[in-house]
Structure 1
Amino acid sequence: MKQYFVYILLCNDNTYYTGVTSNLEHRMKEHDSGKYPDSYTYKRRPVELKFFNTFKDVEEAILFEKKIKKWSKAKKVALINSEFEKLPNLAKKKF
């Protein structure tokens, strides 16, 4: 059965990149080598893998990736640090 990975990278400019792949090791090599010059991470190398989660369903993985991409940096950091109890409060808007 195929596995899919949603992952978060820390870029050298202290930003985060979130992606989805079916081969995490291969995709990390592509990020590290700068295989795609037009990609977000190309000029932000080196990158460091900070988080990944596995999925059996590609659609589920894509939905989770899209969700994370909308999150604030603070919420991504809480996920990376396994501070799951902080996630609901970080989702609330401050008026």
Structure 2
Amino acid sequence: MEQHKPHYFYVLHCKDNTYYAGYTTDLARRLEEHNSGRGAKYTRLEKRRPLKMIHHESFSTRSEATKAEYAFKQLTRKQKDNYLAHYNKKNS
């Protein structure tokens, strides 16, 4: 039986105190890509690195993960802070 990789929505905290949200199937690889300057255009700027992964959620499909990413990106900064605080409190 074929094993399916999980699909992740993740949030990085940037050195300039901003957030970057994304999608991947490999969290460690993606974080390394961002920190080496090979990730998204937003994280390539030196002022944003190093980045720290502060949140991730696992989904069974790419569609679910990218919908979670999109929904997060629509939030205000205050709403993002509340989301992260609530989710991390709920799962600790």
TM-score by length of 2: 0.82
Which of 32, 40, 57 in structure 1 is aligned with 2:35? Answer: 32
Segments ≥4 residues shifted beyond 6 Å: none
Which residue of 2 is the match for residue 70 of structure 1? Answer: 74
Q: Which amino acid aligns with 1:19?
A: G
Q: SS of the residue aligned with 2:54? A: strand
Which residue of 2 is the match for residue 56 of structure 1? Answer: 60
Kindly tell me the number of residue pairs found equivalent between the two proteins: 83
Q: Which amino acid aligns with 2:54?
A: K
What are the Cα deviations for residues 17-75 of structure 1, in whole angstroms up to 9, with x where unaligned?
A: 10000111100010111114x61011111111111100011101111111101111111
Which residue of 1 is the match for residue 22 of structure 2? Answer: 19
More displaced, 41-50 or 73-82? Answer: 73-82
TM-score by length of 1: 0.80
* Identity %, equivalent residues: 34
Q: Which amino acid aligns with 2:25?
A: S
Deviation at residue 83 of structure 1 after TM alignment: 5.7
